[in-house]
Structure 1
Amino acid sequence: MTFAEAIGTLAGKVRARKAEIATEEATKNALIMPFISSVLGYDVFDPSEVVPEFIADVGVKKGEKIDYAIMKNGEVQILIECKKVGEPLSLQHASQLFRYFAVTSARIAILTNGQVYQIYTDGDAPNRMDEKPFLVFDLLDVDRSLISEVQKLSKESFDLESVISAAEELKYIGLVKRALANEMKEPTDDWIRYFVARVYDGKATQRVVDQFRGLVSKATGQYVADQVNDRLKNALGEGVGRDEIATSRVEVVDVIPRDDVVAPEAPDPEIVTTEEELEGFNIVRAIAVADVAPHRVVYRDSKSYCAVLLDDNNRKPIIRLHLNGKSVKFVTTFEDGNKVGTRHDIETVVDIYQLAEQIRSTVRWYVDSVDNVAAE
């Protein structure tokens, strides 16, 4: 199993068990120990590698414990402080990490609730843990660009110098990305004024800022959509035209018995797949490609809606696009196998990006369901 596959397997476990875990101790046993052993590759039963309930007396704090210390050649390399899954991570609840960081040889500290891992070092001042993590890794929303950085902490690839040297850059890249995400979700006046100053000749009064708020949101959303579509085009092969991407129907070997798949009917000449439906499909596939291969996401059009399916299987609906209405447009999502679906009214197909998490959750649910069946 590759490092990325190990992360994917644990992510499926987090998704399936998260609601059942009620305590910090259960979080450690079910999620964090598997991360240390199955993902990072350390032997949790070998005290020369992993020390649970690690004690290092600090000043007047005698007998205080930290959840795990990962060792190498008798020296502490990584300190791990754990919280219950679902609990927000705050350094106010991890004072031990600060104290232990200063009195041990550790250069890496991890604060985690079993789903989100915040990773710290001492880039701002020697032997003093930074107040902000240089890397934030969420197992249920994996940033694939960070997988190689997490792998540097594994037993097989442990590379402290490389981690430290990349930490400052990763920290500020992460902060900028989160700031951009917040601005796109709820643009501030300063963000809007930045664009107003570049496209509007008049004075940026509050009334003008308010008028541009919707325009800036729509423009940034459309820009992201264009970038994602270009990336999808490249992923599917250079020189493939937009229409070829949108209309390609790749034959796949289904992962469930063939009698569970209903073959599509012969094309109905009255069914016309519109440009808007093709754009909506491309957006959905661009979102889903983070979790499955692009060819597994296909569309099947009908008179009433355009269905986007996983593996061309109508038992695996990802979303239905109802875009042919003259005044009302909406889509239906199918989270966690819900066959009834949830309706979402939209103004333009770009609004589908706001449903990215629901779309990815549905795709992952189908994939995990198949994995669970295969394991049984």
Structure 2
Amino acid sequence: MDFKDQIKQLGERVNNLKGQIQTEEATKNAFIMPFLQVIGYDVFNPIEVVPEYITDIGTKKGEKIDYAIFKDGHPTILIECKHWAQNLNIHDGQLLRYFHVSKAKFSLLTNGITYRFYSDLVEANKMDEKPFLEFNINEIKDNQIEELKKFHKTIFDAESISNTASELKFTNELKFLLQQELANPSPDFVKHFARQVYPSVVTAKVLLQFTNLTKKSIQQHISDLITERLKTALTKEDEKTKEQEAIQVEQSKVDEIKIVTTEEELEGFMIVKTILRQKFGVERVTYRDAQSYFAILLDGNNRKTICRLYLNGNKKYFVTLNELKKEIKNEINSIDDIFNYSEKLIQIVDNYCKILESNQP
């Protein structure tokens, strides 16, 4: 199971169990420790994952943080845990104080559902107010999984993560601002566009008018983008389907070239027709040769298989199909042995005819 699947599986586990988790300690055991295991750390190794890590904060001695992940004898990630139902917004200040007196480069605040990763991107040795990576384990996106993967023990590189974390942090903040503006455009946002299209001064009345126009334009643009994406996706799917059909046609041609109908198979076909001639019009009995077997059909219909002959291998088989269309193989020494199954062949065709009659009005 790859990393993405493991994270998705953990998200399902959290969603199924959270109603039964009553305490913070249970949240750690059921959600957070399994998360640390998924990103490659041995939670039962107190040298690698240190529980109740002590940090002295000013005059306060012996302050403890829930976990510290160590690398080369030094803390690299501080982890503060809360009960899964708690709002994390009221707890980030506590983690900030721990981070300030530690040599750790990253900190993580989590309730087992929401995960917030922090660093010191704005001011050295001071934890940023906003996380550079945040996700909900139940709704984690593929791009977030790729960022999280960088914290996996096997590839963890603090410097490399720091180099990309700044861009990630500001990108996320810009995305959030854009989402807000697109949903409810601010006056400054509206003015920026109104001034470029309105020929006069943007008064309060004009601003109100353009606020509605901006909202409408945004909605139409998003709708156009979605429509265009759907068209592109459908076109690509149509092209893919045509390509697959062309490949299948070519493969069928190749298969047909490989198929050689032998004299023995034709002789077997004549024997079956001779048997059935006793009770049925044999003009309805046809054959279709395949690479592995020779099929004898009623009305040229694959769903009305009378029998199959396997005559080209080391052993020869006379085959019929059961109610589930599974093969019943009978080994034969020569094609003359087909006469031994005369009653079976007549019964099969008789059943097909009865079904056909019952379906007629």
Please state if 1:51 is matched with 2:47.
no
Corresponding letter in the other structure for 1:73: D
Question: In structure 1, the residue corresponding to 2:60 is in which secondary structure?
Answer: coil
Contact 1:121 1:134 in 2 (8 A): yes
Give how far 1:233 is off: 5.1
Corresponding letter in the other structure for 1:9: Q
1:168 and 1:185 mapped to 2: Cα distance?
26
1:187 and 1:125 mapped to 2: Cα distance?
31
Decide which structure has greater strand share: 2
1:14 and 1:32 mapped to 2: Cα distance?
10
Contact 2:8 2:138 in 1 (8 A): no
Contact 2:65 2:78 in 1 (8 A): yes
2:235 and 2:137 mapped to 1: Cα distance?
29
Decide which structure has greater helix share: 2
Question: In structure 1, the residue corresponding to 2:12 is in which secondary structure?
Answer: helix
Corresponding letter in the other structure for 1:191: F
| Runs of 4+, deviation exceeding 6 Å | none
How large is the Cα RMSD of the aligned pairs? 2.4
Please state if 1:21 is matched with 2:21.
yes
Corresponding letter in the other structure for 1:65: K
Contact 1:233 1:240 in 2 (8 A): no
1:15 and 1:228 mapped to 2: Cα distance?
31
Encode CA deviations 1:105-139: one digit per residue, 9 max, x unaligned. Answer: 21011111222211111122222212221122222
Give how far 1:97 is off: 2.2
Q: TM-score, normalised by structure 1?
A: 0.58
Within 5 Å, give how 1:267-306 maps onto structure 2: none
Corresponding letter in the other structure for 1:66: I
1:6 and 1:64 mapped to 2: Cα distance?
33
Encode CA deviations 1:187-212: one digit per residue, 9 max, x unaligned. Answer: 22222222222232233222222223
Please state if 1:209 is matched with 2:203.
no
Structure 1 gaps of 5+ residues are 245-376
Q: 1:193 to 1:238 in 2, by over 3 A?
A: same
Within 5 Å, give how 1:247-266 maps onto structure 2: none
Q: 1:26 to 1:215 in 2, by over 3 A?
A: farther
Corresponding letter in the other structure for 2:82: K
Give aligned pairs, total.
240
1:99 and 1:112 mapped to 2: Cα distance?
16
1:115 and 1:226 mapped to 2: Cα distance?
35
Look up the match of 2:165.
167
Please state if 1:9 is matched with 2:6.
no
Look up the match of 1:35.
35
Structure 2 gaps of 5+ residues are 242-361
Q: TM-score, normalised by structure 2?
A: 0.61
Encode CA deviations 1:140-178: one digit per residue, 9 max, x unaligned. Answer: 332322222111111122121111001111111010001
Q: 1:113 to 1:233 in 2, by over 3 A?
A: farther
Give how far 1:235 is off: 5.3
Encode CA deviations 1:282-318: one digit per residue, 9 max, x unaligned. Answer: xxxxxxxxxxxxxxxxxxxxxxxxxxxxxxxxxxxxx
Larger radius of gyration: 2
1:114 and 1:229 mapped to 2: Cα distance?
38
Question: In structure 2, the residue corresponding to 1:97 is in which secondary structure?
Answer: helix
Question: In structure 1, the residue corresponding to 2:124 is in which secondary structure?
Answer: coil
Contact 1:134 1:171 in 2 (8 A): yes
Corresponding letter in the other structure for 2:7: I
Greater Cα shift, 177-186 or 135-144? 135-144
Corresponding letter in the other structure for 1:75: H
2:77 and 2:61 mapped to 1: Cα distance?
21
Q: 1:9 to 1:218 in 2, by over 3 A?
A: farther
Corresponding letter in the other structure for 2:85: G
Look up the match of 2:102.
104
Corresponding letter in the other structure for 1:30: A
Q: 1:30 to 1:219 in 2, by over 3 A?
A: farther
Within 5 Å, give how 1:1-376 maps onto structure 2: 1-38=1-38, 40-90=39-89, 92-232=90-230, 238=236, 240=238
Q: 1:234 to 1:163 in 2, by over 3 A?
A: farther
Q: Percent identity?
A: 45
